[in-house]
Structure 1
């Protein structure tokens, strides 16, 4: 298995994995991924095995301490020198879940964010995943202001 950062050539596979992992109301569109890949491809971590995309994590970098819904759709808000690595999505193909695939990618994201001198990582998740992210050192900050996809999200922060 290999973890690497994405290129625009990965766009169709990234969009397909996202569609398999999230309901349409929550999933990023191919156009949104294209905009993100044009601005911050080095903040897309892909886990592949024999050329198959198994899992990926993506998100912009910002000096803003909190993940705002506008960040999902506006790649221009990325600030490469920013303090916080935002995490927009942790995606693993259903047949590979509960095998540690997402954890491998998350550990790499955390290590890279530390190496880049960030203050930490920020994400939002559903209630059932709060405990999972706590295993990486994230702490819940309670219900987020996010209305993304019309569901309740919890703000999670990992501070280095």
Structure 2
């Protein structure tokens, strides 16, 4: 297994993985991933084995301290000089869950964010996942203003 950043050649694989992991209202589509791969490939991490994408973590860097719904589909909001690494999605192929793959990628994203001198990482998650992300040092800031996909989200922050 290897961890690497995504390339445009991964477009079909990451789009399929997203569709397998999230409800249609929450899943990013091909056009969104195409824009993300063009704008912030260095913040789009994959866990790959034998050419198959098993898990991914992706998100932009920004000056804004809070994750907003606009960020999901507007890759132009990426600002590599910003202090905050946003995490839009953490996804593991359904056949590969409960093997620690997501955790491996999250630890990698945290390490990369620290090495880049950023202030930290921000993500939103459903309430049932708050304890999971807390294991990595993320702190819940309570309900998020996000209404992405019509779901209730909690914002979590990890200062590095």
The equivalent residue for 1:146 is: 146
The equivalent residue for 2:105 is: 105
Aligned CA RMSD, in angstroms, stands at 0.5
Alignment of 1:61 with 2:47, yes or no, is no
Pairing of 1:4-153 with structure 2 (within 5 A) = 4-153=4-153
**Number of residue equivalences:** 160
Alignment of 1:158 with 2:141, yes or no, is no
1:19-66 Cα distance to aligned partner (Å, 9 max, x none): 000000000000000011111111100001111110000000001100
Stretches of 4+ aligned residues off by more than 6 angstroms: none
2-structure distance, mates of 1:9, 1:53: 12
Q: Which runs of 5 or more structure 1 residues have no equivalent in the other structure?
A: none
1:76-123 Cα distance to aligned partner (Å, 9 max, x none): 000001100000000000111111000000000000000000000000
TM-score, normalised with respect to structure 1? 0.99
Q: Which runs of 5 or more structure 2 residues have no equivalent in the other structure?
A: none
TM-score, normalised with respect to structure 2? 0.99
